[in-house]
A and B are shown apart, each in its own frame.
Chain A
């Protein structure tokens, strides 16, 4: 079992819809959770992080964490074609290194 699992996609959503990206992790000791966006041929860009159970909103993005179920999700409201990218989930077990999933490819079509 991988430590961080994501559906590879692609997840296709129409412009203006809500995109929901999910991630599960295996280690209950994981303490902080990150979402990165990676455009093709580019490096990962930090979108959001979350430490506590519940929701955290930043503009069109909402991160959701459920430690009991060991999942973290990212919602993108009013999806735009420019949101089309691979979204990487990463967890940190208070050892400073990030453990990444393989990413979910999101396609937003006009």
Chain B
């Protein structure tokens, strides 16, 4: 079946701009996670949704980052006033609820 999809695959923006990254999880998966990965590092947790609610947002680095999942399926990660340090690959994962997380292809964000 279809895996996790993410759009766009690449996003180049200028410092100070606003960006939205979209994640479409595997159908039926109730849990959705956002991570970001910098070069040479493992993925770093940002936020986790169970259904529509954010169950754990402890990984969001600051209040410029926000994520929603209004209908319990698609999620959008929003970054305001982007900074060069936000450049990374943003990964979304979904899970049927048993801790096995399946990753999407990621969105490579470049802030110039």
Residue of B at shortest CB range from A45? B103
Q: Is A98 an interface residue (CB 8 A)?
A: yes
**Would A100 and B33 be within 8 Å (CB), given that A43-B106, A49-B100 are in contact?**
no
How far, in Å, is B45 (CB) from chain A's closest CB? 4
A97:B99 contact, CB within 8 angstroms? no
| Chain B interfacial residues counted at CB < 8 A | 25
How far, in Å, is A39 (CB) from chain B's closest CB? 12
Q: Is A42 an interface residue (CB 8 A)?
A: yes
How far, in Å, is A22 (CB) from chain B's closest CB? 15
How far, in whole Å, are A98 and B50 apart by their CA atoms in the complex? 15
Q: Which residues of B contact A96 (CB under 8 A)?
A: 31, 33, 48, 50, 55-56, 99
Pick out which of these stretches binds chain B: A11-19, A61-69, A76-84, A87-95. A87-95
A100:B43 contact, CB within 8 angstroms? yes
Among the interface residues A45, A46, A98, A101, which one has the most CB atoms of the partner chain B within 10 A? A98
How far, in Å, is A97 (CB) from chain B's closest CB? 4
| Chain A interfacial residues counted at CB < 8 A | 23
How far, in whole Å, are A34 and B106 apart by their CA atoms in the complex? 19
A43:B91 contact, CB within 8 angstroms? yes
How far, in Å, is B67 (CB) from chain A's closest CB? 14
Q: Which residues of A contact B103 (CB under 8 A)?
A: 36, 43-46
Q: Which residues of B contact A97 (CB under 8 A)?
A: 33, 45, 48, 56, 58-59
Which residues does B use to contact A, with CB under 8 Å? 31, 33, 35, 40-45, 48, 50, 55-56, 58-59, 89, 91, 99-106
